Structure 1
Amino acid sequence: MQSSPPPSPVLPEPTASPAHRTALARLGGLIARRPGLWVIGWVVVAITCFAIAVGGVTGESLFERLHSGAPTVESESSRARDVIEQSEPTLETLTLQVSGADLQDPAVVKAGADATVTVGKIPGVKGVKSPLLNPSGLTDPSVAPLLAGGSPTAGGFVTVVNFEPGLDKAAQDTAEAQAEKALLGVADAMKAKGSLGSTSKVIHAITSTVERDLLRGEGIALPLTFIVMLFVFGGFIAAGMPIVGAVIAIGGALLSLFAFSHVVELDATVVNIVTLLGLGLSIDYGLLTVSRFREELAHRQHPVPTKEEVAAAAERTVATAGRTVLFSGLTVAIALSGLLIFQASIMRAIGVAGVSVVLVAMVVAITLIPALAVLGAKRLARKAVEPVSDTGMFSRLAVAVQRRPIAVILGILVVLVTLALPTLSMRLTSSGTELLPKDAQQRVFFEDLARDYPTLSAPEVTVVAGSGDTAAVTAWAGQFKDDTGVESVTVRPLGTSHQVVDIRVAGPPTSDAAQDLVTRVRETKAPFETLTTGQAAAQIDFLQSMSDRAPYAVALVVLGTFVLLFLMTGSVVIPIKALLLNVVSLGAALGVVVWIFQEGHLEGLLNFSSVGAVESMVPFLVLAFGFGLSMDYEVFLLSRITEFHRAGLDNDRAVSLGLQRSGRIITSAALLIVIVFAGFIAGDILIIKQMGLALVAAVVIDATLVRMLLVPATMTLLGRWNWWAPGPMRRFHDRFGITE
């Protein structure tokens, strides 16, 4: 047990002399001279960003360019789809589902058939498949798959419209609109209920829900964060500065996403994930910058700060808080850059967009926020009448932890490991319409379609066999009929040189039975080439690709983070400790996600329906984003501890004083970012809910158990070893380390 030493005097923090002013200090002075120009410039940038990304001044908005679908990679399953596509190109379709029709009344059937004929005459329609058009009538076995329950007695049927390939967007939209009207006319003619569904409608439902969720999330986050910052700063001006910066950063985020949508297909969920990250970081950085500016104003000599004192405060703020923001932003960017290593285009898109958004938030924090602070310096000075106290709640917490560091470490580790245990049973899936709320029209449509017309849905497992011999392929495929969950095995020709084996498996498309079957098929030798695809196969290939690239991504993130923290602290122990603590806290956050979303707890409270698994992208995104946010708070704390340690304070006093000076900022920033990510949880898209809850859990765990308790305890236990580095590395840091 180590007792805390008596408080040591804190050295004054004078402004650096001109000869020793850093580049950041000079930037602060430049901003202080022309703050209005910096603000006007950023306002122009923000208006331009929103006009292009959301206003559609270029002819289309970001939300019109979004896509949706399961994450894919170049793999066996994608090659199989390419072979199928060459012989059977995918056509845009529109499906009508009719219920409550009297299909045993010839007059009703004739009225429906006459209305259906008109659908086929619409320009752009390639063909119409409907049991009503069968010349042999509804009792013909060939139309049974198009009838609910396989019989006309149930009163339900489907009609599928195929559109001509290669239509431009205007022609496609016109054809679909006319077909929708005509198909609903079929149901009306039969005095029955009709509903429409298509892949494009599902994508539109997801993208429009994402757009609504984004507006709802920001509508929740911005007012609540403003209210919280009113309590933190005690004034409207100071509270509004980080909000202004956040709004401008959102504009930059949306513009960067709009630009990336022209390079890669951008999934709809990317917008919420990346934009709210930018919002959270901007508020965090704005809070840190404004707090430090007001702290620097407390060193002034005059009741009303002079121009010189304001400039000095701006220089010192950008030199210190700006340095922390740069380190924090770079660590978050490094964490997100790990996503660039993966093969899946959606992961790379999130990585590139995320890095760009972090850079926007960083630049806003070290230019716009100081400019706003300079303009509002007189108002800010009213709450900066005396230097920040060196004693308070957080220093007392640090001293309490320092009395029993081993007990604190063991207790917190037990809690974190307990929270992480559910990750051992994590199951992953790639949902389709299940991403939408349970009562969403398109989700209901496709669930009804799968229940009443099972043969119309894609088979769970599809094998492309490189043989023109149907009999040989049929004989080979017959061995899978008795596998667990297999309901049917059918073989059909694909061109002249291939066969397609469709295997239907009971349960969801990515069920354990479907995945086990994919593995068995791929391991079974055949006298011809076989390629296996389907949703289960695509998920297996995606996860295998992620697993193959994960070591390289981890190595990049670990090495980059280690180097940055070493350059900041001059220690090799502190970076290693930070990396290990982050792994434990992120494991706990993922355990919470599994417990809630996979095991189905809190469904009513969080308004979701469990699919018995976690979305396959969530663990990787949580590790990237959660790691970045954890390091964000680590940098906030370590920058102050390092600052005091370099001022000559002993280890324990530097830790307690660093926690006292940064604890309020970390706690406030964590609360604010929790509010921001609560917008994720309030959303309707399942993967966004999972991401939101995971990041909220990660932030809460990190900002409380880890930063406030575990870090002070471990640093106390290590003592002077915190600052150890081998001689060559120490000399390298003395020469090249990034200090003020």
Structure 2
Amino acid sequence: MFTRLGQFTFRRRRLVITVWGALTLLGVLAAAGVGSSLTSDVDTAPHYESQRANRLLSRAGGDDGHIYAVAQGARPPDVAAAADDVRHLRGVAHVQDGIRSRDGRSIAVDVAFAKGQSDEERSAAVDAARDRLRRISARRVVVGGDLLQDEEFSAQSQKDLQRGEAVALPVALATMIVIFGGVVAAGVPLLIALAGVSGAFIFLLATTALGDVSVFAVNVATMFGLGLGIDYGLLMVNRFREERAAGLEIEHAVERTVATAGVTVAFSALTVAVALCGLFALDVPALHSIAAGGIGVVLAAMAAALTLAPALLAVAGRRIGVGRVTAGVAGCHGYFARIARLVQRRAVPVILVVGLGLVVVATPLLHASFGRPDGRSLPRSSPSRQLWDIGHAQFPAQVAEPVTVVARTSSTDPRLEAWVDEVRGLPGVRSVAVDDRSGMSVVDIVPAGDGQSEAGQRLVHSLRRDRPAFPVLVTGNAAEMVDFKAALFGRLPTALAIVALATLVLLFIMTSSVVVALKALVMNALSLGATLGVLAWVFQEGHLSGVLGFESTGSLDVLAPVLVLLFALGLSTDYEVFLLSRIKEVYERIGDNDTAVAEGLQHTGRIITSAALLIVVVFAGFATGGFLVVKELGLGLAVAVVIDATFVRTLLVPAAMKLMGDRNWWAPRPLRRLHRLTAGPGKPEVRAATFAP
């Protein structure tokens, strides 16, 4: 099949390039359509308790969000005049002004917006109120709030996207020119990456028909699309140059490239897509659109690598020379082969030192704590970040985030009064207020610390564990965080089990070995554990904050570890497929495990290192952004690639395969027979180990 695909793309190369050109243009147009459907909401599924309580509160009346203004050095009459103007704006529910700061130098205004408005009407009301509040005569006026914070999350995400592309693309192109020694060869992987990202935007636009798309889906799709597209393009170009160096004409070199490297790309893309499917098992709707974007970009990058890349290679022809990537890869006498031989002679010490080292690096993860994005996730230039800092320093009572209990009973119910007295005596409770609303009682309990603090979450667990005699639902920031962690981490083992099983099946299909597939999962676990440990060490504990340009919030964004875990699992398997496919190819030819490992590493060492370098450039470009979540994703994935391409693929894999010897290629007889049936006619099989039962 892949040989026929190579023949087709060679013969219809201009048609293939034209079609991909049209798809890329369509993807650019789709990007604009996706932008209008983005949301920064990362709520849990609607059946969780906090979401059910929020729906009750919404039906009981109240407002539809707030914005706040803090005027420093302003005259009270000027602030009152602005507040009165805002009070008369269409769509404003109520305004509270004259709120003095702790030091008496600032005045705050709280604007609440009426329910029942369309998104356009509410947006117009928010803009009008913000514009009037900004015109208060004062030394400094800062306007922010939950409604504006969501807007700033989206805007900062888009800004980081543009910044990441501006940093990554030129550096990646320059790096590829150095790697390939020519502009034409360097341009092919970049075109594959751009085509893959364009395909992902078309996929995301289709996803908007089912609902809003997470703002993070665009960043992830772009980041991942550039990285994988460059990876796949690099592999195809490198194999084409090897085949040309071996004396094949352009047509046969294209066919051979698709039949060999193309198979590797297909298996790699499938394993990455399977890893991302794990996000659908988690009970967080925002992650589903991120998964859709990730899967879309993987499939688009695969399609571009299997069709556009060979078409471009056919057109470029002799302008893509045999160059330095392929130089010296033959046999077992190159740099990476020598490393493999050295590791094989010291297999046990290498496994102990590197394995234990990765375990030690993972230890900060044991003390990890998690939070959701808030004002601190934005750069200091952001109004919402400035308002967060000022509010917590000067207006602690106004920014307190209570745990809210919705009680289905009257505020005069003696049982409620007795329960409220008990709650006031709970450890960590600062204040309690009761409000009667539409036949329900709303109890606001202010805990010590901020809304996502451990104290607040402990209070939520306590309130839910020891419920009163009347029906209650617990919500608020702390309760939403508790539910979010339950939705995310409660189903994470199931998601990982599904991903691991599917990855095992795909690796077995590729290698016909159970041992190699299991070893790959163990290696991935070590690599990913170390990656998440680095993430906790940097962002939770605040190390390297000056170098990376961020301020630690004392926790990891709750989405970042899960996204890094599943996306990095896909990338780790990606490199495993690159290496194993070449080792298997050599083993089928010569039947010697140690030589196959050394020669396989020699063939792929430079390409894996080059691909890792390029993908680190891409991810590091996004790590320069101002949105803390995007920075965590960029750095986390870059670290994952570095660890995997160096310590794991170059050291641990050769050492482990040395110890296993021919056992690497073992599989139970029933599975071997199944593999033979599915291998297809004429396809060589890995010979069974002599000790196989």
Same fold (TM over 0.5): yes
User: What letter corresponds to residue 77 of structure 1 in structure 2?
Assistant: S
Query: Residue 67 of structure 1 aligns with which residue?
Result: 39
State how far apart, in whole Å, the 1-side matches of 2:365 and 2:79 are: 53
Q: How does 1:57-96 map to 2 (within 5 A)?
A: 61-73=33-45, 74-96=47-69
Query: Residue 561 of structure 1 aligns with which residue?
Result: 503
TM-score (norm: length of structure 1):
0.88
Query: Residue 232 of structure 1 aligns with which residue?
Result: 179
Query: Residue 7 of structure 1 aligns with which residue?
Result: none
Report which stretch shifted further, 248-257 or 670-679: 248-257
State how far apart, in whole Å, the 1-side matches of 2:352 and 2:484 are: 38
The answer to whether structure 1 residue 340 and structure 2 residue 280 are counterparts is: yes
Query: Residue 682 of structure 1 aligns with which residue?
Result: 624
Query: Residue 389 of structure 1 aligns with which residue?
Result: 330
Query: Residue 97 of structure 2 aligns with which residue?
Result: 130
Deviation at 1:533, TM superposition (A): 1.1
User: What letter corresponds to residue 69 of structure 2 in structure 1?
Assistant: L
Deviations 1:52-109 (A, max 9, x none): 323xxxxxx4333222244423311111111111102442433332221344xxxxx2
CA contact (8 A) 1:505 1:513 kept: yes
Q: How does 1:620-699 map to 2 (within 5 A)?
A: 620-699=562-641
Q: Name the SS for the 2:69 alignment partner.
A: strand
State how far apart, in whole Å, the 2-side matches of 1:115 and 1:650 are: 82
Query: Residue 488 of structure 1 aligns with which residue?
Result: 431
The answer to whether structure 1 residue 100 and structure 2 residue 73 are counterparts is: yes
Deviation at 1:723, TM superposition (A): 0.5
Deviation at 1:122, TM superposition (A): 3.1
Deviations 1:19-73 (A, max 9, x none): xxxx11101001111211111111111011102323xxxxxx4333222244423
TM-score (norm: length of structure 2):
0.94
Deviations 1:668-696 (A, max 9, x none): 01111111110221011111111112111
Query: Residue 691 of structure 2 aligns with which residue?
Result: none
Decide which of 479, 486, 509 is 2:422's aligned counterpart: 479
- Gap runs ≥5 in structure 2: 685-693
Report which stretch shifted further, 29-38 or 170-179: 170-179
Q: How does 1:514-529 map to 2 (within 5 A)?
A: 514-529=456-471
Report the CA distance shift for 1:117/1:29 in structure 2 as closer, same or farther (over 3 A).
same
Deviation at 1:230, TM superposition (A): 1.3
CA contact (8 A) 1:53 1:255 kept: yes
Deviations 1:97-137 (A, max 9, x none): 2221344xxxxx2x554454333333343443334xxxxxx
State how far apart, in whole Å, the 2-side matches of 1:251 and 1:218 are: 14
User: What letter corresponds to residue 340 of structure 2 in structure 1?
Assistant: A
State how far apart, in whole Å, the 1-side matches of 2:267 and 2:596 are: 20
Query: Residue 125 of structure 2 aligns with which residue?
Result: 175
Decide which of 349, 357, 361 is 2:297's aligned counterpart: 357
Deviations 1:608-666 (A, max 9, x none): 11111111112211210111000000000000001111113311111111111011111
CA contact (8 A) 1:326 1:362 kept: yes
State how far apart, in whole Å, the 2-side matches of 1:66 and 1:654 are: 49
Query: Residue 279 of structure 1 aligns with which residue?
Result: 226
Q: Name the SS for the 2:320 alignment partner.
A: helix
Decide which of 129, 134, 150 is 1:203's aligned counterpart: 150
Decide which of 214, 220, 238 is 1:291's aligned counterpart: 238
Report the CA distance shift for 1:232/1:501 in structure 2 as closer, same or farther (over 3 A).
same
Query: Residue 405 of structure 2 aligns with which residue?
Result: 463
Deviation at 1:494, TM superposition (A): 2.3
Report the CA distance shift for 1:118/1:405 in structure 2 as closer, same or farther (over 3 A).
closer
State how far apart, in whole Å, the 2-side matches of 1:725 and 1:382 are: 38
Query: Residue 244 of structure 1 aligns with which residue?
Result: 191
Query: Residue 3 of structure 1 aligns with which residue?
Result: none
State how far apart, in whole Å, the 1-side matches of 2:90 and 2:492 are: 49
State how far apart, in whole Å, the 2-side matches of 1:200 and 1:236 are: 47
Deviation at 1:567, TM superposition (A): 0.7
Report the CA distance shift for 1:627/1:184 in structure 2 as closer, same or farther (over 3 A).
closer
Q: Name the SS for the 1:608 alignment partner.
A: coil
Report the CA distance shift for 1:418/1:254 in structure 2 as closer, same or farther (over 3 A).
same
Report which stretch shifted further, 688-697 or 577-586: 688-697
State how far apart, in whole Å, the 1-side matches of 2:80 and 2:559 are: 45
The answer to whether structure 1 residue 367 and structure 2 residue 338 are counterparts is: no
Query: Residue 33 of structure 1 aligns with which residue?
Result: 11
Deviation at 1:454, TM superposition (A): 3.3
Deviation at 1:387, TM superposition (A): 8.3
State how far apart, in whole Å, the 2-side matches of 1:35 and 1:719 are: 44
Q: Name the SS for the 2:542 alignment partner.
A: coil
Report the CA distance shift for 1:155/1:412 in structure 2 as closer, same or farther (over 3 A).
closer
Report which stretch shifted further, 370-379 or 449-458: 449-458
Report the CA distance shift for 1:683/1:112 in structure 2 as closer, same or farther (over 3 A).
closer
CA contact (8 A) 1:102 1:155 kept: no
Q: Name the SS for the 2:115 alignment partner.
A: coil
CA contact (8 A) 2:513 2:665 kept: yes
Q: How does 1:706-725 map to 2 (within 5 A)?
A: 706-725=648-667
Q: Name the SS for the 1:647 alignment partner.
A: helix
Q: How many residues align?
A: 678
User: What letter corresponds to residue 543 of structure 2 in structure 1?
Assistant: H
Larger radius of gyration: 1
State how far apart, in whole Å, the 1-side matches of 2:308 and 2:584 are: 27
Decide which of 147, 151, 155 is 2:100's aligned counterpart: 147
Q: Name the SS for the 1:300 alignment partner.
A: coil
State how far apart, in whole Å, the 1-side matches of 2:117 and 2:411 are: 36
Query: Residue 589 of structure 1 aligns with which residue?
Result: 531
User: What letter corresponds to residue 171 of structure 2 in structure 1?
Assistant: L
- Gap runs ≥5 in structure 1: 1-22, 55-60, 104-108, 132-145, 302-308
Deviation at 1:491, TM superposition (A): 1.4
User: What letter corresponds to residue 657 of structure 1 in structure 2?
Assistant: E
State how far apart, in whole Å, the 2-side matches of 1:115 and 1:596 are: 44
CA contact (8 A) 2:411 2:434 kept: no
Q: Name the SS for the 1:91 alignment partner.
A: strand
Deviations 1:306-327 (A, max 9, x none): xxx2111111111111100000
Q: How does 1:116-127 map to 2 (within 5 A)?
A: 116-127=83-94
The answer to whether structure 1 residue 53 and structure 2 residue 20 are counterparts is: no
User: What letter corresponds to residue 480 of structure 1 in structure 2?
Assistant: V
Deviation at 1:164, TM superposition (A): 4.0
Report which stretch shifted further, 614-623 or 601-610: 614-623
User: What letter corresponds to residue 93 of structure 1 in structure 2?
Assistant: H
CA contact (8 A) 2:405 2:443 kept: yes
Query: Residue 269 of structure 1 aligns with which residue?
Result: 216
Report the CA distance shift for 1:114/1:440 in structure 2 as closer, same or farther (over 3 A).
closer
CA contact (8 A) 1:99 1:194 kept: yes
State how far apart, in whole Å, the 2-side matches of 1:463 and 1:360 are: 47
CA contact (8 A) 1:473 1:491 kept: no
User: What letter corresponds to residue 608 of structure 1 in structure 2?
Assistant: F
State how far apart, in whole Å, the 1-side matches of 2:328 and 2:105 are: 79
State how far apart, in whole Å, the 2-side matches of 1:653 and 1:116 are: 79
Q: Name the SS for the 2:406 alignment partner.
A: strand
Q: How does 1:506-521 map to 2 (within 5 A)?
A: 506-521=448-463
State how far apart, in whole Å, the 1-side matches of 2:111 and 2:372 are: 27
Q: Name the SS for the 2:625 alignment partner.
A: coil
